[in-house]
Amino acid sequence: MRRILKLVPTCLFPFLSLTLVAEEVDTILERHYEARGGLERLRAVESMVIEGHNRFQEQEIAVRYLAKRPNLLRMESASSAIQVIRVFDGERAWQAMRPAGGEKQVAEMEGQEAVELIRESDFDGPLIDYREKGHEIRYGGREFLGEREVLVLEVTEQGGAREVYHFDPETYHIAMKAAEVPAEGGTIRFEMYYDDFRETDGLVLPFRTTAVSDGQTVFTGVIERVEGNVDLDPDLFTRP
């Protein structure tokens, strides 16, 4: 009997630890949802248009993002050299490219670019309804991001993609998201930093995003306009 009683704490503590970790994940996510405007308001958005620009060193590229539930996505970018449209129509990923002075070329997307576009097409992203989507989220504790402390959640998606989210413990906004992106000969670590959070129609979004790799800024993205529940023409997502 004494031997059994001695074994009980050993069996119980791992269970309690896992339970507390799961509760920590759900608590962080619930507060994050509220910081974004609340789950009810987030789920009420059926479509969204975001316009802005990305700056790569001295080059500025106009960008436009159109999304519609459940997984329709159109991403447009335009510079003086080329116009690019990338679309996921719910079944296929395709792109259209038009160089300055040239003809439009339309083709199916393949490889990692197609995979990433399809992942991006999840209207709510991986953090909402993550269990139903087959994703796993683990609490990674607290770390320092520069001089500020952050809460860490490690997300492994059903398809195997892995990202690490760093949350501000005061606002519960995402301060940074890190991921290892497949590249020729290995992987490249990208860090996405988010700031300039603003409320638009009850939703809170980061109006500035900075992508960093190997300590160098890859690009800075700035949102200029956001509009929700837009009546989007289905032809926008149909391949020409």
Q: Do 95 and 71 contact (CB within 8 A), yes or no? A: no
3-state secondary structure the chain: CHHHHHHHHHHHHHHHHHHHHHHHHHHHHHHHHHHHCCHHHHHHCCEEEEEEEEEECCEEEEEEEEEECCCEEEEEEECCCEEEEEEECCCCEEEEEEECCCCCEEEECCHHHHHHHHHHCCCCCCCCCCCCCCCEEEEEEEEEECCEEEEEEEEECCCCCEEEEEECCCCCCEEEEEEEEEECCEEEEEEEEEEEEEEECCEEEEEEEEEEECCEEEEEEEEEEEEECCCCCHHHHCCC
| Structural domains in the chain, sorted by start | 2-237 (2.50.20.10)
By C-alpha distance, which of 55, 52, 50, 54 is closest to 73?
Answer: 50
User: Model-level pTM?
Assistant: 0.87
pLDDT of residue 22: 63
- DSSP bridge pairs for 136: 156
* Burial (CB count within 10 angstroms: exposed 0-12, middle 13-18, buried 19+), residue 215: exposed
CA gap 222, 25 in Å, rounded: 30
Predicted confidence pLDDT, tens digits, the chain (240 residues):
444 434 445 454 454 344 445 679 999 999 999 999 999 999 999 999 999 999 988 789 999 999 999 999 999 999 989 999 999 999 999 999 999 889 999 999 999 899 999 999 999 999 999 999 999 999 999 999 999 999 999 999 999 999 999 999 999 999 999 998 877 777 889 999 999 999 998 999 999 999 999 889 999 999 999 999 999 999 999 998
Q: Which pLDDT score, from 0 to 100, does residue 7 have?
A: 43
